[in-house]
Structure formats: C-alpha cells, structure tokens
Chain A
Amino acid sequence: MPVRMLTASETGATSGRAGASKPARSSRKVPLRFREETAALYGLLHRPEPAPDGMAGLVICAPFADEAVHAHRVLAELAGRLAEAGIAAFCFDYTGTGDSEAGFDAGGLTRYVADIHDAVACLRRQTGVKRCGLVGLRLGANLAMRAAAEDPSLSPLVLWAPLPDLRHYFRGFLRLRLFTEVATAGRATSTVRALEERLASGGAVDVLGYPIGPEMAREFLRPGTDPAALPGRPTLVVELRARTVGPAPGGAADVGLCEPGVSRRRLTAEPFWERARAASHAELFETTVAWLAALP
C-alpha cells in the first residue's frame, strides 16, 4: 500500500529544512509486514524515487521501550531525509514492540539483533540493494554494533548516542519504576537492587507498563561492553548532549578519530527519546547525511 510523501508546501509542514535546497528526488513510503512465519514484524520502507544506480540501504534501529515511541518521529524523518538523498531507509519495530506482533516479554537483546538481520534481509529483498548499513539510536546503536559484528557485510554504521554501559542503563530503567511509585503512591516499595534480585531469581518486574522477564534482564546485566569499532567498517558516532539554558553552540564539533575508521561528532540536542517534541533536528540529519554522502 504505497503512500505518497507530500511535500512541505502541500502539508504546511515545517520539517526543519529552512534554507535547505530542494531535494533531488522524492520518496515513497511503503509499509511492510515481514517474517510472517513467526511473530510478524512491521516496518516502513522509505524508497527513493527515482532509485539511483547502485542504491545503498540503511536499516534504522530504534531504542528501547518508551524511548522508541518518543523517538519514532525523528527516526522516521531521518528515513525520509535519507531517501531524498538516494538511500533506501527502513524503520521497523522489534518483536513485541510498536506494531509488530507478540508480547513485549517475547523480546530481548538477542531477539532484537535477530530482528535487525531479518529487517536487513527484508530491505534487500524489497529494493535489491547490495550495500546495506545500520543506523541506531541509544540501545539501537548498541544492537546495530552487535548485528554488524555478526555480519561483516553490514556497512556503514551510524551510531547516535550509543549507550556506554548497558548494565548502568538497565538499572536506570528499573529506577523509573520507583519514580512512578513515588509519583503515584508517595513512596517507593522497593529498590533497584531488590528488583534485580527478583529478576535474578526468575521473577518478572513491571517497569512503566513493560513486563521485564528474567532472560531480558540477564542479557542487559551480562558483564562486558559492546565493541567501539569494527575493522573495515566506516562508523559515525554522534554524541548528543542535552541542551542547557542559554544559546546552544552552533555547528557540529568534530571531536576527532579515537579509533581507526570511526568519525565522532558532538551535537547539542533535546533528548527527543525521553519525550516527543515538535522540534527541528536539521543539524543532526545534515551531519548524518553529509557524512554518508562523503563515503567512497
């Protein structure tokens, strides 16, 4: 069911493109359900029209839980921008999230990485792209690195605000349950440590309406870190720093190459994965698209 993408002049949309030149091509959004033999996944393919010769593809890897709900629009807008630049971009929902099938507790880090591989296969099947890379936000960036480590053909990699420590992140997620308890009942009934112990003993924990099971917890809490770079894979890491009071520093800061093949940029942005806002992310998009366009 193709859906034509309307232009800004047709919709009255303000997409943060003020001053930007008109894109060379338009794009078409194609909703897809794939992997129907098990729990089907939902995705939206942004297909460039006309498709350039040797078109490349990118699968966009969402962050975790409500962060994926809040960030969805920004990732969808990025996909549209990539398609206008001639790259087939595919946003999808992991198992048990968004419009995909199954319950949330059917998911987990291993499952999500497998979902990324299935999304890559779907994108290749639908578009015929030979070169396919990954874009990930927050946990999605870590998952993209894991998927790329399993499949050497996945290149390039764009990592927006990757998580430096999954255990720390997961404990912060558990803490949100305690914040909810304080906000609704005036006090927390547990501690992060007690919640971890409950999970370790095979119990489940409800965090913000998400049922977290022991296996998902084990995956998050497993010691070890994700690789910072994969040899031979051009990688862009974008650090996103929260906007503070006062004027934001302009332009993307190039903070150097810490690892071979890894470009790092630092941008100031609202944490759009914490709460959806009607805001422009032009600088983030332009930084990403310009880096991709400069690749050989």
Chain B
Amino acid sequence: MSLRAGGERPVGFSARGVALAGMLHAPAGPGALAGVGLVMIPGGLVRRVGLHGLFTTAARAFAQAGAWALRFDPPGVGDSDGAPRWLTPAGLASLEARLVDEAGAALDFLEREAAPARLCVLGHCTGARSAVLRATEDRRVQAVVGWSMPLGEDDGGPLAPWVGDALRRLIGQATPSLWIYGATDPAWAGFRQFASALSPDERARLHVAWTVRAVPGANHDFTSVGWGREVVEASTRWLGDGRVDLEGSRGAAWTSA
C-alpha cells in the first residue's frame, strides 16, 4: 500500500517475536513539526485509536503539522498478536514488561520507514510510563509527551517507586518533556505529590526541560471534544516550538493548579 502525503497506512512490525499492528501517518506537507517522528503508545487495554478516537485525531493533527506518527496496538490489544502480559503478576513485577521493547521496535520501524530528524514518544495513561522508560534507555528519544500518566499502581494509590525513579532519570537526562493532565484526574494529584518531593537541584533541572499543563475541569481520558482538542493543540504547539500557549507554563505549573 503506497502512502501519499497526509495519508495513513496499516503497518506491521514485531517485538519479542510478537507481530504488532500499527497505523503510520505521513506528513501532509511542510509544517511546524517537519522532521518530527512520533511513536504513540496507548494506555491499558485500549486499542491504538484511543477512547473517543483521541489517538487517531491526534496523529492526524500531528501529520497535518508535518510530522510522521506511528500508533500501534500493544500485545494482546486491538489487532496485534500475543497477550497483554503486563497485566499478569509477572508482568507487573518486571519493568521490562511495560512495553519498553515494543516502543523500541516502533521507533526502529519509524526510523527505517521515515528517517525523521527528531524521534519522540507520546503515551497516554500507562502508555506514558512506557514512554518514560523507553526515553531513559534510548538516546534516540529527543522528547516525551505524557498524557494523564499515573504515578501509582492504582488510580489515586500510593506512588510507585519505579515510576518516580524513572522520572528522576528523565530529569537527570534533561529530556524535554510535556506533561498534560486533566485537573480532576487523580493522577494529577500524584504528579504534584511527586514534584513537591523533588530536591532543589532536581527542580532546577526540571524547570529547564519540562512543561506541565493541567486542563481545567478535564478528566483522565479528556472525554469532551473541547478537552481533547486542547490536549492535541497543546501537544502540537509544544512539539513544534516548545511552547504551550495555554494557561499552563513551564516548570512549576503544578503549584498553581
């Protein structure tokens, strides 16, 4: 299947010997995101389109702005083969089981197919944690976008040390990162709790590299057309020029939410 400018094509690649299904979006033309290649990781058992089609909408917006985007189904989800192993006790106990290899295989595929100048990862919910873990071990990743990333093992539960450790490594690397939360999402409180416990040195580093944004009134899945649009537009702007022209601001936005 050929891929015209602005078109999209079902693709397949494998990770850990499991065939994964994805959708590749080609840039519609030159734009603010020219040269960006984005791997998008859904959360939990949600297929690559996202709830209310948010991932599909976002990928099309990124492609309209000039980026390559690759959405994929994790093992045992959507059209991919395999089983969702991270839901097993063994999967939960193992960091490497959190789609890190799958995200790496998606990055490999995108590099081969499109050779973008700037590789980025975006994840929603648990997919954002996978994006963080990949970015901490893969120097090809130049930016991370996380939507509604939970820092606990359960909604509103205590912070999971492994997530905090990974985020601290990300801060240490000074990887540019955009975090977007719904202001009513329990995960937002967890993120603020994590941020308030950072050392002054970590906070200083974080202010340089991280942008944090809470969408007023929004929930975990951004289940309104307006919230979804806000998330997609903020991510597009930030990927383009590092700015979020909304109420959020760089660095310490969590303190004012």
Contact = CB atoms under 8 A, between A and B. Distances in A.
A142 interface: no
B81 A13 contact: yes
B81 A209 contact: no
A1 B1 contact: yes
A210 B83 contact: no
Contacts of B23: 42, 99
B101 to A, nearest CB: 14
Interface residues of B, number: 47
Contacts of A277: 45
Given A73-B78, A180-B219, A184-B219, A31 B21 contact: yes
Nearest to A91: B79
A11 interface: yes
A180 B10 contact: no
Contacts of B224: 180, 206, 208-209
A99 B77 contact: no
Contacts of A276: 44-46, 77
Contacts of B50: 69
B225 A12 contact: no
A76 interface: yes
Given A11-B17, A11-B82, A209-B52, A33 B10 contact: yes
B83 A11 contact: yes
A10 B49 contact: no
A210 B225 CA distance: 7
Contacts of A5: 19, 81
A4 B8 CA distance: 21
A14 interface: yes
Contacts of A33: 1, 9-10
B84 A6 contact: no
A208 B82 contact: no
Contact of B54 (A3, A12, A76, A209): A209
A3 B21 contact: yes
B72 to A, nearest CB: 12
Contact of A180 (B18, B78, B223): B223
B117 interface: no
Contact of B49 (A6, A73, A99, A278): A99
Interface in B1-56: 1, 8-12, 17-19, 21, 23, 44-54, 56
A15 B76 CA distance: 9
Interface of A is mostly: mixed
B82 A12 contact: yes
A210 B228 CA distance: 10
A239 to B, nearest CB: 25
A44 interface: yes
A33 B10 CA distance: 9
Given A44-B79, A98-B53, A6 B218 contact: no
A138 interface: no
Contacts of B19: 3-6
Contacts of A258: none
B150 to A, nearest CB: 16
Contacts of A44: 10, 21, 79
B85 interface: yes
B184 interface: yes
Contacts of B87: 278
A4 B14 CA distance: 11
Given A33-B10, A276-B44, A97 B82 contact: no
B217 A184 contact: yes
B227 interface: yes
B56 A69 contact: no
Given A1-B1, A65-B52, A209 B225 contact: yes
A36 B76 CA distance: 29
A73 B184 contact: no
Interface string B211-244: 0000001110111111110000000000000000
The 8 A-B residue pairs with the shortest CB-CB distance in the complex, in nearest-first order? A209-B52, A31-B10, A276-B45, A11-B82, A13-B83, A3-B12, A208-B223, A184-B184
24 contacts: A1-B11, A1-B12, A14-B83, A29-B79, A31-B10, A31-B79, A33-B1, A72-B47, A98-B47, A99-B8, A99-B10, A99-B48, A99-B56, A104-B53, A184-B184, A184-B219, A208-B52, A209-B53, A209-B228, A210-B225, A276-B44, A276-B45, A276-B46, A276-B77
Interface of A: 1, 3-6, 10-15, 29, 31, 33, 42, 44, 65-66, 69-70, 72-73, 76, 93, 97-99, 104, 180, 183-185, 206, 208-211, 276-278
Given A11-B17, A278-B45, 16 more contacts: A1-B1, A1-B10, A5-B81, A10-B17, A10-B18, A12-B82, A12-B83, A31-B12, A44-B10, A69-B51, A70-B46, A185-B217, A209-B53, A209-B222, A209-B225, A276-B44
